[in-house]
Amino acid sequence: MRPEADSRFESAFGGVPRWRSRAPGRVNLIGEHVDYLGGKVLPAAVDRYVWLAGAPARSWEVSSEVAGGEAYLKAVAAELGAGPQRVAVSETVPAGFGMSSSAALLVAAAAGLEPELDGRQAAQLCQRAEQKATGVMVGVMDQFASALGRRGHAILLDCATLDHRYIPFPATMLIVVVDSGVRRNLADTPYNQRRREAESGMPKRRRHVDSEIARVGEFTAALEHGDDSRCGELLKESHRSLRDDLEVSTPAVDAIVERAWSIPGCLGARIMGAGFGGSILALVERGAEEAFAAGIGAPSVVCATADGAFVG
């Protein structure tokens, strides 16, 4: 099936694209707000994508429903030294679900404009581009997962060195992302303030960082030993830390997380991503997904792991 971006390109620009690309969204299983401090994280690329179709042009023209899409594309092109482009964008990464559609857009742009890039270099380039486009000092995890994810696996990533290894994700658990309904622009939240506080060693913030890094190690071991129940308990511990020590949750998000905890078949759940709204991540026993969707009372998507843009 031809990606929708191709038909959007032909419709908007009356031509045939010179390049095409796609990149996946991501979930972070555990390890929130530690990537920018050089900690270890455990993300996975998922089967929701941003597709691009493009061609060189005299000036920038972007056909996109993605908020801020042109700014992101220009930022990646500037990092690569590429000129203006006509670009059409399609996506199946759900808007507002905290699955890093922005990172997927950036990585897809890098893959389309410079497909021979090393995936690690592409992730770092896209991190710089997002920081410049938004003014938010994001870490490298989202871009790395979108560039180098692997189907059937999560990535144990050391954000200080970018050393990584792939951890098999079991068939017995499903990843479910639930929309809290709380929308936010990170630039309008205390995200940068929380980062500065964590970097400065403020006790409550640092307590979250240290305990979360320890949970990443425990979660990885639990995956490797097939201990699904322990994975769920670690998600609950992570949420309490994000809520109480880092203070990036909201009452509305907390209510959805606690509802998820009460549903049979839900192993655990927590706020995901940068916080202050967005989505929650739940791990659900395979076979319990319909009961979970009925019980949670909010829009949700069941995700499978996927290959990244720079993984063939």
- Which member of 6, 47, 118, 142 is catalytic? 142
Positive or negative: CA dihedral 280, 305, 301, 128: positive
| Active site (annotated) includes residue 163 | no
> Annotated active-site positions, please?
142
